[in-house]
Amino acid sequence: MQKNGQNEERKSRLLACAKQNRAGCGRLLPLRLAAAAVLAAALLALFGCSAKETEVSETFFVMDTVASLRLIGDKEQAESLLEQAAALAQELEARWSRTLPDSSIDRLNAGETVVLDQETAALLAQAAALSVETGGAFTPTVSPLVELWNIGEADSPPSREEIAALLPLPSPDFLAQARAGQPFSLPEGCRLDLGGVAKGEAANRICVLLRESSLRGALLVLGGQVSCVGTRADGEPWRIALRDPDGQQGETLAELRLTDLHIATSGDYERYLDFEGVRYCHILDPETGWPPETDLRSVTVVSSDGARADGLSTALFVMGLEPSLAFWREAGDFEAVFVTSDRRVIATEGLADCLSFSNGAGGYRFEFTA
């Protein structure tokens, strides 16, 4: 009974967040217009898509990953938004990439003083807050370690001595001082890597653009980050499949049905180095300097805030299952799905109504947790 009550409370909190997000980022419809929209939606549900409504989609490469965008709505508007969204993603990458020369992060890492734009200042402050909240599992000053490991390029791990020489990492607390329009620089020896949150924040910004339009819906995929706006053409929630970390691309463990939420997955199967029988993944434990000794293969976070989903999926992967569940119970503003090394798939109970497990898949055991 109590479980059900908690479940309801969680779900309504998540949905309230999604609604707030929508209202906050879009325009609030005048009442009469809203009533007309409800009627139009009801008619569409009866008679299917409006003749003018169409799906426009494109795949492009940005932020070191494959991105795709599907938009449902008026053709001209959808085509124009597709261009604007892709341009915005490139523009944000040009500010937040660690590796693109002359990005704000590259200039800060080179010791320059940079006058921060509003989006970058907000992202730096959010990264600092996430680091405090996760007890350092998320640490945006991890850059020297990321450079040393160079996962994806290197063919062997660095030595213990090289890793130890970079520890402890500088505290990212100073990022809380970041202010839009103000000059900002990093303390001596400190370098930033926003790879754990940048895609999520880019997704937030792109979704603001999409929600301000009159599109019926959109689905944005930025590597491990998926964001849904509104609904599919048939008025149903978007369906997002969660991958089996051991499977081929097509094998899935569960399916989420969502509207107006962000989903981020971090795992050990996207970018890694296999060396002498050991797998080293691209997420690092900021305390030890090594990939985390975790009991998790992947973590998926569902949140109304894309950057939070992104940063938390990275942090919870470092923390491991039990600390992550304790964190989830305490936070109360997101939901998650964990895939463990001993082949369990554990979803938090707020997802009970919108998640279906692919029972029988890959020898996994499936459960909801409270």
Q: How far is the CB of 286 from ligand AMP (least distance, A)?
A: 5
Please return the burial class of 234, using the count of CB atoms within 10 Å of its CB with bins 0-12, 13-18 and 19+.
exposed
Q: Which three-class secondary structure state does DSSP give residue 45?
A: helix
Please name which of 242, 290, 248 lies closest in space to residue 266, comparing C-alpha atoms.
Answer: 242
**Binding flag, residue 104, Mg ion (CB under 5 A):** no
The item of ligand AMP, Mg ion, none sharing an interface with residue 7, based on CB under 5 to 8 Å by kind, is: none
**Binding flag, residue 324, ligand AMP (CB under 6 A):** no
Q: What is the DSSP string of 89-145?
A: HHHHHHHH-SSSTT-HHHHHHTT--EEPPHHHHHHHHHHHHHHHHTTTSS-TT-HHH
Cα distance between residue 236 and residue 50, in whole Å: 15
Which member of 157, 172, 196, 245 binds ligand AMP (CB under 6 A)? 196
Which member of 21, 109, 266, 304 binds ligand AMP (CB under 6 A)? 266
Lay out the site mask for Mg ion across 196-215 (x = CB under 5 A, - = otherwise). Answer: x-------------------
Lay out the site mask for Mg ion across 4-33 (x = CB under 5 A, - = otherwise). Answer: ------------------------------
The residue type found at 91 is: E
How many C-beta atoms lie closer than 10 Å to residue 214's C-beta? 13
Which member of 310, 319, 321, 354 binds ligand AMP (CB under 6 A)? 310
**Binding flag, residue 314, Mg ion (CB under 5 A):** yes
How many C-beta atoms lie closer than 10 Å to residue 54's C-beta? 16
Lay out the site mask for Mg ion across 281-310 (x = CB under 5 A, - = otherwise). Answer: -----------------------------x
Give the binding site for ligand AMP (CB under 6 A). 138-140, 142, 146, 193, 195-196, 224, 266, 282-284, 286, 310, 313-314, 318
